Amino acid sequence: MSSDPIRDLLTTAKNIAVVGLSDNPMRPSHGVAAYMQSQGYRIIPVNPQVKEALGEDAYATLLDVPGKIDLVNIFRRPEFVEEIVAQAIQLKIPAIWMQEDVVHEAAAAKARAAGIFVVMDRCILKEHRARFG
């Protein structure tokens, strides 16, 4: 890892599971995921309420996603984070990103204890633009 672990993560992660991704273009999750998709990342929608988003099939939970996930990007309220983190630990996903205002210290500590890199209360779009913009 270099002195900028977020840059390293955004350089190596290719498949981003976006938990709480909306198919409504007016929602922040949709705009952020569309931006990341436009930057060459594969977006995997995880939301039991939608069939697809951004041209990709959606899955009800992380456990339903076939194939490799490099990063979980969480757009859910903090009370839902623990379950998402538990699934990420079970799947041995290397990194979890909690968007702005998504803060769950206990879940983050649990993830870090399992060897997962955690970013909390930061916007992946803003961080990407700051480093690669």
Name the stretches of the chain with pLDDT < 70. 1-2
* Beta carbons of 62 and 86 less than 8 angstroms apart: no
Separation between Cα atoms, residue 59 and residue 81, nearest integer Å: 17
Q: Which amino acid belongs to residue 34?
A: A
- The CATH architecture of the domain made up of 5-132 is 3-Layer(aba) Sandwich (3.40)
Note the pTM of the prediction, 2 decimals.
0.97
For helices 81-90 and 105-113, angle between their N-to-C axes, nearest 10 degrees: 10
Instruction: Show me where the domains of the chain are located.
Output: 5-132
Predicted pLDDT of residue 1: 53
Q: Take residue 16 and report the two structure tokens written for it.
A: 């981003």
Q: What is the pLDDT of residue 23?
A: 96
In this prediction, residue 133 carries a pLDDT of 87
